[in-house]
Structure 1
Amino acid sequence: MRMLLPLDRDLDDAQLAARYAYPEDLGAPFVRVCFVASADGAVSSGGRSEGLSSPADRRVFRLLRRLADVILVGAGTARAEDYRGARRPTTGRDTPPPIAVVTGSARLDPAGRLFTDTRVPPIVLTLAAAPAERRDRLTAAGADVVALDRLTPDAVLGELGRRGLHRVLCEGGPTLLGELVAADAVDELCLTVAPLLVGGRAGRIATGPDGEHLHRLELADVLQEDGVLLLRYRRDIRATPIE
């Protein structure tokens, strides 16, 4: 056991970006998940994750977006958080990463900020069985609507990979993360722990299919600012399967 704190070394933006850089020469989607939770495990306060955020969390959040090719999010989170398009260009490109929304029903508001306040068209990943009139309204609002036969992680990531969008940043919600965990499709988890106790009935960061789906991670990085912990875990490729 080793003591990690106290430390006294500030990181500038370039050093922080180097720590969070994606692997080079990716030939397939690499899924990084970004969440914030309270010290007692709540994923939201007042129904939104914004209530748990902090300057340190927002700094890393913005950085992770700039490093990503695409931001993947479930429709429930996009609606609850009133998503809009990313503002800053992806590193090495002139445009921000698109928001890719997973929705089986295509139930999104074409007048929402996701479609009206964005520099790049959102990608809507839905089912071919979703109502055609909903899909048509989203297309008319400027979305790049993709109708898939299934919305399993392999199908969703396969579509992103086909587009060359390999640096994937998943911002939730818990159901989407639960499905990615069940499919063993999470390569990295960036978890901010806010120094707050929330209590109540707030959920956890992942809720998915019945049964446990254990996948071992290794701790890759620990940062702290004003009591906020910023943890980065990555897939432990050395670990034997957990039965």
Structure 2
Amino acid sequence: MHRLISPLGPPQQDVRSLEELAAVYAYPEQVRQGRPWLRANMVASLDGSARLEGLSEGLSGDADKRIFGVLRALADVVLVGAETVRAEGYRPARARDAFAAARREAGQAPAPAIAIVSRSLRLDLAAPLFTEPVVRTVVITTEDSPADARRAVAEVADVVVAGERSVDVRRALSALTGRGWTRQLTEGGPRLLGELTAAGLLDELCLSLAPLLAGGDGPRIGYGGEMPGVQRMRLVSLMEQEGFLFTRYLRSASPASPSLPDPAPDSAG
């Protein structure tokens, strides 16, 4: 991948190895001191759609999938909405040999846990996400979720109640932080990302832009939720491969923004 803007200072060479890619997306130092950090990883078409033919998969490419894997390998937990789990056929995060030593050194489990936000609890409990996880799956639900369904889920996953009639995303993230999971990653979908953004909880957005015009009526990467105002973001990383652009934005006003230099354009063009 060609570095156009680098969080590590003026880029000297393209990103070729997993180690270099992990350095580009490293969590800030404050996370090691117990401060939770929530990043989102999303993909969109050039005309703003988060889906192609109903799925985000159609917008992805080899480099995007590589970044997807690295972001998971760095995280303690992946937060995702139940609709996305059903639509995308989610599976458990896998342990990766290339990151095993780094995760042990950081005190992390071999793979991140998957945490699913679901009010209805309409989940396939026979799916690998519940039968084959490296780390037991977590389901975050509400007080008024169906009692029978909640008991069934509790047999195969950890159940967290956060909110009465709808999931309170602040309480949800607080519960995950309470488990020591401070390196937090959300993969949406758009409704969940909209709620997290509206609540002012998003520290970082990793957005892949696919060189496609999708048309149609697909949702943008985040929608719903009433934001009190515009949330400004700061671009700290930009890479390109085969027309895809891979961006990393930090919240401008974040009190725990990592100590990164101002982004510098690649003098080599």
Does the TM-score normalized on the shorter chain lie above 0.5?
A: yes
Q: CA deviation at 1:113?
A: 3.0
Q: CA deviation at 1:107?
A: 1.9
Supply the AA of the counterpart residue of 2:50: V
Question: After the TM superposition, which segments of 4 or more aligned residues of structure 1 sit over 6 Å from their partners?
Answer: none
* Structure 1 residues 77-104: Cα deviation after superposition (integer angstroms, max 9, x where no partner): 1111111100125633452111000112
Identity percentage over the alignment? 45
Query: Secondary structure of the residue that 1:129 maps to in structure 2?
Result: coil
Q: Does 1:171 align with 2:195?
A: no
Equivalent residue for 2:56?
A: 49
Q: Does 1:144 align with 2:158?
A: yes
* Structure 1 residues 125-156: Cα deviation after superposition (integer angstroms, max 9, x where no partner): 1112211110111122x211112334222101
Query: Secondary structure of the residue that 2:80 maps to in structure 1?
Result: strand
TM-score by length of 2: 0.82
Equivalent residue for 1:10?
A: 14
Note the residue ranges of structure 1 that are not aligned, 5 or more in a row.
none
Equivalent residue for 1:75?
A: 82
Query: Secondary structure of the residue that 2:40 maps to in structure 1?
Result: strand
CA pair 157-238 structure 1, distance change in 2 beyond 3 A: closer
Distance in 1, matches of 2:41 and 2:128, equals: 21
Distance in 2, matches of 1:153 and 1:57, equals: 27
Q: CA deviation at 1:216?
A: 0.5
Equivalent residue for 2:247?
A: 231
**Cα-Cα RMSD:** 2.0
CA pair 40-129 structure 1, distance change in 2 beyond 3 A: same
CA pair 226-131 structure 1, distance change in 2 beyond 3 A: same
Equivalent residue for 1:222?
A: 238
Q: Which moved more, 1:204-213 or 1:50-59?
A: 204-213
Supply the AA of the counterpart residue of 1:10: D
Higher relative CO (Cα under 8 Å, sequence separation at least 6) belongs to 2
Equivalent residue for 2:113?
A: 98
Note the residue ranges of structure 2 that are not aligned, 5 or more in a row.
6-10, 256-269
Equivalent residue for 2:94?
A: 87
Distance in 1, matches of 2:228 and 2:27, equals: 28
CA pair 199-238 structure 1, distance change in 2 beyond 3 A: same
Query: Secondary structure of the residue that 2:79 maps to in structure 1?
Result: strand
Distance in 2, matches of 1:26 and 1:102, equals: 27
Distance in 1, matches of 2:81 and 2:136, equals: 16
Distance in 2, matches of 1:100 and 1:94, equals: 15
Aligned match of 2:25 in 3, 20, 25?
A: 20
Supply the AA of the counterpart residue of 2:202: V
Distance in 2, matches of 1:211 and 1:87, equals: 35
Query: Secondary structure of the residue that 2:39 maps to in structure 1?
Result: strand
After TM superposition, the structure 1 = structure 2 runs for residues 97-136 of structure 1, keeping only pairs within 5 Å, are 97-136=112-151
Contact 2:76/2:109 (<8 A) preserved: no
Q: CA deviation at 1:73?
A: 0.3
Q: Which moved more, 1:227-236 or 1:92-101?
A: 92-101
Query: Secondary structure of the residue that 2:129 maps to in structure 1?
Result: helix
Q: Which moved more, 1:155-164 or 1:22-31?
A: 22-31
Equivalent residue for 1:65?
A: 72
Equivalent residue for 1:161?
A: 177
* Structure 1 residues 109-136: Cα deviation after superposition (integer angstroms, max 9, x where no partner): 2122321342221100111221111011
Equivalent residue for 2:258?
A: none
Distance in 2, matches of 1:172 and 1:149, equals: 19
